Structure 1
Amino acid sequence: MSSAAPGGPVPVLEEPARGGPHRFWSVRRVPAALLALLVLAGAGLVLYDVASVWAGRPGMRWRRTLADDLAVRQLDDVAVLAGAAVAVALGLWLLALACTPGLRSVLTMRRGDGPLHAGLRREAVEVVLRDRAMAVAGVQSVRVRAGRHKAAVRAVAHFRELDHVHADLDTALRAAVGELGLARPPHLSVHVARPARKG
């Protein structure tokens, strides 16, 4: 698994050459740490209770109360159904985390002949497109939002005809997207408007 510096290229990693471009997998440190802490706390509590029983002491009151309560409850009880629903939802969430890449902030780049896999962060793509748009004559300001499938560009033009600015922006940004070397170039959405009137 590779890590990436904010705003820059993702360090390359080795991957089999077969198949199309693949997304990068997230490390998911926070969910893994939370799950590990919960398992550790639960295991420690059960181990302490078992050791207490083996030492001749009574088991913890909460465990005896819980066992007695579960022994008399029916399967269609609201509390039992609610607990089962929470457990199923948690299990599905953990399965989804385990089976999906999750690292949506990195856009996969085209791979060459070697076994290397590289990507660009969305922030880097936005910076490149913003700089290229600001170089177009007539553009006063630009806002860029890059996603996995679409890059939305909103520009403000303070002179020149809007149609001419839009055409130049579209040409410049399409060239910029092509130069980024992305495996799945995002679809461009360009919007040009005049500055808002004050007062």
Structure 2
Amino acid sequence: MTAAARRGTTVVSERAVRKIAERAAVEAAQAGGRPATDTAKGSASVRGRRADVALEVALPCQAALSDSVRRLQSHVSARTEELTGLHVDTPRVGVTALLPARPGWSVPVPGAPVPTGRTPLRWWSPRRVPAGLLTLAGTVLCGALALDLVLVHLAHRPAAPWRTESVHWLTGHGSGDPVVRVVAAGLAVLGVLMIFLALSPGRRGLLTVSSSDPRVRAAVDRAAVALLVRDAVGDVPGIGPVRVRVGRRRATVRARLAFGERESARDAVREAARGVLDSCELRRPLRLRVRVRPDDSWESTGAGPSPVPDQQAEGDLS
């Protein structure tokens, strides 16, 4: 009787897991009448029977962002586990863009309380570039020193000239030497910079979003918020060119008025901008500043006296 052959092992590559997760994210974004996004970028790592997935997708701007992220995470996790047989932890989701509204979307109920979760005010940055440069420098220096020591003690070769010359130079120069002081000052500045990078959150371009689920952490790019505010303000009657700047704590809207009353136009601009900011459900609400200037060809539609053309209509709200 012939013995049974040894069974093989099926290995699912990280690339295959990433492709499946990206496709599942697209399926989740296209479900339920939401806008069709054609691409989703992701990364995956496989350790044994477990997989870790991270995704970057575009989501609708007027849907509840925390609910959309939860549905996407659930679908991606279930779909990837079904097709690969691996246990997939809760995927990390980054929202790269907010797509414009379409009929049939679910929008927040006006006046509804904004859910508060444990989302931090700022996201921490992995600092890949500084960490990579520091690791590379440390690897080169420590590797060269270790290789020279191995060659000296095991192969009985003379020490490398750069090491002997460095030791001789250090023995002849004390702490009062100008070169030593300059190098020490440079190292001190480098150490302070490393401490600053370790303690500062980074990712200044992201604004965190409130979530009712503490397991969901979402953020939106400040440029995307500025684009949404600009589009909403541009739809106000009489408003011409619009410039929007969104900072970490304040949103500034500068608009030019082509026709109409400046006071009513300023109120309409302020209302449109505030509505967009409230719909984003930011963890830290932004202060809004509105500036409306008349255009060169501006004409008032009111019966009252026209104000001086170079005056500005401004508003600064918290």
TM-score, normalisation: structure 1? 0.85
Give the distance between the partners of 1:116 and 1:150, measured in 2 at CA: 25
Q: Are 1:6 and 1:121, in contact at CA under 8 Å, matched by a contact in 2? A: no
Aligned to 1:143: 243
Of 294, 297, 302, which aligns to 1:194? Answer: 294
Residue 113 of structure 1: how far off its partner (Å): 4.6
Give the distance between the partners of 2:151 and 2:253, measured in 1 at CA: 65
| Sequence identity (%) | 32
Q: Are 1:144 and 1:152, in contact at CA under 8 Å, matched by a contact in 2? A: yes
Q: Does 1:156 align with 2:256?
A: yes
Shift in CA distance, 49/35, structure 1 to aligned 2, threshold 3 Å: same
Of 94, 114, 133, which aligns to 2:194? Answer: 94
Give the distance between the partners of 2:58 and 2:216, measured in 1 at CA: 20
Give the distance between the partners of 2:241 and 2:231, measured in 1 at CA: 10
SS in 1 for 2:254: strand
Residue 117 of structure 1: how far off its partner (Å): 2.0
- Structure with the larger helix share: 1
Of 106, 117, 131, which aligns to 1:32? Answer: 131
Tell me: higher relative CO, structure 1 or 2? Use CA pairs within 8 A at least 6 residues apart.
1
SS in 2 for 1:26: coil
Q: 1:79 is aligned with what amino acid?
A: V
Q: 2:176 is aligned with what amino acid?
A: D
Aligned to 1:184: 284
SS in 1 for 2:174: coil
CA RMSD of aligned residues (A): 2.8
Can you list the C-alpha shifts for 1:44-88, whole angstroms capped at 9, x where unaligned? 211222133222322222221111111121212211121111112
Q: Are 1:140 and 1:158, in contact at CA under 8 Å, matched by a contact in 2? A: yes
SS in 2 for 1:116: coil
Q: Does 1:170 align with 2:270?
A: yes
SS in 2 for 1:163: helix
Residue 194 of structure 1: how far off its partner (Å): 2.9
Residue 191 of structure 1: how far off its partner (Å): 1.3
Aligned to 1:124: 224
Give the distance between the partners of 1:24 and 1:2, measured in 2 at CA: 15
Residue 151 of structure 1: how far off its partner (Å): 0.8
Runs of at least 5 residues in structure 1 that lack an aligned partner in the other structure: none
Of 139, 146, 149, which aligns to 1:50? Answer: 149
Runs of at least 5 residues in structure 2 that lack an aligned partner in the other structure: 1-52, 71-91, 94-115, 298-318
Give the distance between the partners of 2:226 and 2:236, measured in 1 at CA: 16
Which of 1 and 2 has greater Rg?
2
Of 149, 172, 176, which aligns to 1:76? Answer: 176
Give the distance between the partners of 2:294 and 2:229, measured in 1 at CA: 20
Q: How many residues align?
A: 195
